[in-house]
Amino acid sequence: MDVILKQDMPNLGYKNEIISVKNGYGRNFLIPKGYAILATETARKIHAENMKQRAHKEEKLKNEALDAAKKLEKLEIKIGAKTSTTGKIFGSVNTIQLAEEIAKQVGFNVDRRNIKLNDNIKQVGKYSAIVKLHREVSAEIKFEVISE
C-alpha cells in the first residue's frame, strides 16, 4: 500500500514523501492518526503539483542550511562543566547545553533533537557531534568540554 506522509516520521520517511507500507500499518495506524493519506491517483496528482510549487522554497531552505553548516563547522565551541579533581564531570554534557552554546555563538537556534552526540560525555576533553539542519544537510561540529 502506498501512502503520502503528512509529517516527518522517524525511521519511516519525511513529510510529503510517498512510501510503501504494509496494509495493516497504513489502514490501522498511519491514516486514522492523520500521519498519512492514501496515495490514490488524484492524491498523487495533487501531491506532484504541490511538490512543483514547493521546489523553489526547498532549494532556498537547503542553501540556507548549507550556509549554516559552513558556519557551524568553523566554530570552536567550549562548554564549561563542574568537574572533580580527576577531570570527571558531575553528571554529563548533553544536547541541551550544546544547543544553547551554538545559539549564543552563531545566533540561530538549533533544535536539540537534531543534534546527535557520538559519545556519552562524562569527562573533560574534545568531542564531536552531528547537527542535522535539513533532510539532506548535516554538519559535524567539534567542541571541547572544559572545567569550570
Domains in the chain: ranges and CATH:
2-65 (3.40.5.10), 67-147 (3.10.430.100)
Neighbours of 123 (CB within 10 A): 17
Is pLDDT above 90 for 147?
no
Of all residues in the chain, the percent with pLDDT exceeding 90 is 28
Q: According to the model, what pLDDT value does residue 5 have? A: 94
C-alpha count within 13 angstroms, C-beta hemisphere, residue 14: 3
For 32-91, the pLDDT digits (tens) are 999 999 999 999 999 998 888 888 888 888 898 888 888 888 888 888 888 888 878 888
Q: Tell me, yes or no, if the pTM score tops 0.85.
A: no
Nearby residues of 81 by Cβ (< 8 Å), 6 or more positions away? 89, 90, 91, 93, 124, 145, 146, 147, 148
Rounded to an integer, what distance in angstroms lies between the CA atom of residue 142 and that of residue 16? Answer: 33
pLDDT at position 105 = 84
Beta-carbon-side half-sphere exposure of residue 3 (alpha carbons within 13 Å): 26
- 3-state DSSP assignment of residue 56: helix
Give me the chain's average pLDDT, please. 88
Choice between 47 and 148, residue whose per-residue pLDDT is larger: 47
